[in-house]
Amino acid sequence: MAKYKPSNENQMVMLPISLQDQLVPGTLEHTINRLVDENIDLSVFDERYKNDLTGAAAIHPKILLKVILLAYAKGMISSRQIERACHENIIFIALSYGYAPDHSTIASFISSMQSEISSIFSDILVVCEELKLLGGTHFSLDGVKLSANVSKEWSGTIDELKHKRDKLQEKLQRVIAEHAQADKHPQVEIERQQKRERRFQLQVERLNEFLKDREPKLGSEGKEIQSNAVDNESAKMTTSHGVLQGYNAQALVDSKHQVILAAEAFASQDHENLKPMLDSAKKNLVSIGKTPDYFEGKELTADSNYHSLNSLKVCKDEKVDAYIPDIQFRQRDPRFADQERFKDKKKADAKSSPFSAADFSYDESKRVYRCPNGKELKCYARNQVNRHRTYDLYHARAEDCAACPLRSRCLSKSDASRRYLSIQVDTGQPNLIDLMKAKIDSEQGKKIYARRLAIVEPVFANICVHKHMDRFTLRSKRKVDVQWGLFALVHNIGKIHIFGALI
Ligand code: SF4
């Protein structure tokens, strides 16, 4: 007959555990522990604690920072998840010295880090520089649009939100009336009605509070854009997966080991963010001892979302060797001629397209253009600036076009009264858009721009996929910036961990 040792789970066992031994050299937690202890100036946190004379002792910021950095590196964003890890996971227990901070302590520490995050970011950049992880020759800029911790349901112009508030108010009145008649209903039904009533009441209160003395939010063109009653600093953004209410998280990356030099979240489109990102990177680099002209003569690549006259002017002023293509650069590239999505639609539709400017001839003596039907087009406006270029504008006489047999080929719309013609004017000034086109179409330009993909895209894959940062869990730009900055910090610490021989 088989004989087994007794299995008794009703017994107490005391296990000796050395917390220090849990942080094994060569692991990420060991790197984080050493960096926070030895390389980050934690005195920046002293200001926020005023408990030297009264009040209980606080958990040391180094503990909170270590725990948060490891949690973010493991894709744990929720403060409740982090709190649980500090109770259950021996590595987190070791990093927190067994203190197990609660979720509210963790959440308030993160959301109030705005003034300290840049100092910590610079401290980590110093380590990157000491370990020679910064190449300083080529930089790439990119961004990802991430949902904010709000719903699109709370977005709209001020009038739309007022309308929504009034609708909710009506609904609330209806629910209250129904509730008054529901006294004879079972208790469970009454409770359900009360819950609905409370929900509508809260929604109305939220909108009332938001709309009190609220001015319309204006976009970059001075027109009203949608506000959001929960996080009014977030914005509606279009992505390849649809529209979201959120922020555009940007990162400027050094090419050598993909170290992030600047990270910030904006509620604006990519092409508006090149200057603030360059400024932010310069500020971080100056804080580690570099000169303000650090980017002069260096290569900068960014995708066509950054292509705008303003972005190119910024690069010119900063003397940056920029490679930022326009959206049609693939269509001009013979290497992509066979690919359906990059086929030049204009060429394909050339037969059916209306007459172009090349079909009109200039009559020097009369200073008019002559159309394929021999009629004159007179100039009605000169030197009109349209985004990037200057044009002279001509039009034909409505009577000529009305009776013209070539109407259907000449006018883009069948009900158009006459033909208009825009002729680009040579202003003698170098056009930055055309110069960039020529630069990006050159063999050298293509070679340099091709590096962008391998430099910056893996950074976003690491943060958004590997570390599960697929939406912000905080509200307001200030807090979202901290969260994005912490992920950039964790990314850079990962680089130190992998490439840093000293740690
Ligand atoms: S539609 Fe007007 S501009 Fe065009 S070809 Fe006819 S007359 Fe000329």
Q: Give pLDDT tens digits for 461-500.
A: 999 999 999 999 999 999 999 999 999 999 999 999 998 7
pLDDT of residue 183: 62
- pLDDT for 44 beyond 60: yes
pLDDT tens, residue by residue, 247-272: 999 999 999 999 999 999 999 999 99
Could you tell me if the CB of 401 is within 6 A of ligand 1? yes
The alpha carbon of 418 and the centre of ligand 1 are apart by a number of angstroms equal to 7
Cβ of 371 below 6 Å from ligand 1: yes
Confidence of residue 343 (pLDDT cuts 50, 70, 90): low
Q: Domain 138-148+238-330+434-489, what fold? A: Nucleotidyltransferase; domain 5 (3.30.420)
Q: How confident is the model at residue 125 (pLDDT cuts 50, 70, 90)?
A: very high
- CA–CA distances in Å: residue 220 to residues 123, 207, 433: 35, 25, 21
Closest ligand 1 atom to the C-alpha of 401?
Answer: 2
Query: Is residue 420 in contact with ligand 1, taking CB distance under 6 Å?
Result: no
Quick: pLDDT tens for 209-248. 999 989 999 887 788 999 999 999 999 998 888 899 999 9
Which ligand 1 atom is the nearest neighbour of the CA of 371? Answer: 8
Check pLDDT > 60 for residue 150: yes
Given a cut of 60, whether residue 352 has pLDDT beyond it is no
- Residue 201 above 70 pLDDT? yes
Ligand 1: residue whose CA is nearest its atom 5: 373
Q: What is the pLDDT of residue 347?
A: 55
Domain residue ranges in the chain: 19-49+56-112, 138-148+238-330+434-489, 158-215, 347-431
User: What is the pLDDT confidence band of residue 53, given thresholds at 50, 70 and 90?
Assistant: confident
Q: Is 111 helix (H, G, I), strand (E, B) or coil?
A: helix
Give the distance (Å) from ligand 1 centre to CA of residue 348.
Answer: 24
Is residue 216 within 6 Å of ligand 1 at its C-beta? no
Phi-psi region of 278 (alpha: psi -120 to 50; beta: other; left: phi over 0): alpha
pLDDT in tens, 355-397: 888 899 999 999 999 999 999 999 999 988 876 778 999 999 9
The string of pLDDT tens digits covering residues 86-108 is 999 999 999 999 999 999 999 99
Q: 345: left (phi > 0), else alpha (psi -120 to 50), else beta? A: alpha
What is the maximum alpha-carbon separation in the chain? 119
Ligand 1 centroid, distance to 253 Cα (angstroms):
53
Decide: 482 in ligand 1 pocket, CB within 6 A: no
Question: Cα–Cα distance between 460 and 68 in angstroms, integer?
Answer: 20
d(CA 227, CA 418): 41
Q: Which of 56-70, 205-219, 331-345 has the lowest mean pLDDT?
A: 331-345
Region 417-445: what's the mean pLDDT?
89
pLDDT of residue 361: 94
pLDDT score recorded for residue 56:
87
Report how far apart, in Å, the C-alpha atoms of 378 and of each of 99, 155, 353, 400, 405 are. 82, 48, 23, 12, 20
The CB of 409 under 6 Å from ligand 1? The reply is no
- The 3 state secondary structure assigned to 301-343 is EECHHHCCHHHHHHHHHCCCEEECCCCCHHHHCHHHCCCHHHC
Higher pLDDT, 308 or 426: 308
Distances from the Cα of 375 to the Cα of 179, 353, 397, 400, angstroms: 76, 20, 8, 7
- Using a 6 Å cutoff on CB, does residue 322 contact ligand 1? no
pLDDT of residue 184: 63
Q: Which atom of ligand 1 is nearest to the CA of 374?
A: 8
pLDDT score at 195? 86
Work out the mean pLDDT of the chain and round it to a whole number: 91
Whether the CB-CB separation of 296 and 273 falls below 8 Å is answered with no
Model confidence at 142: pLDDT above 60: yes
- What is the whole-number distance in angstroms between the Cα of residue 409 and the centre of ligand 1? 9
Q: Atom of ligand 1 at shortest distance to CA of 373?
A: 5
Question: By the 8 A CB rule, do 469 and 463 touch?
Answer: yes
Q: Is 406 in the pocket of ligand 1 (CB under 6 A)?
A: yes
Answer yes or no: is the C-beta of 252 below 6 A from any ligand 1 atom: no
**Higher-confidence position of 195 and 438:** 438
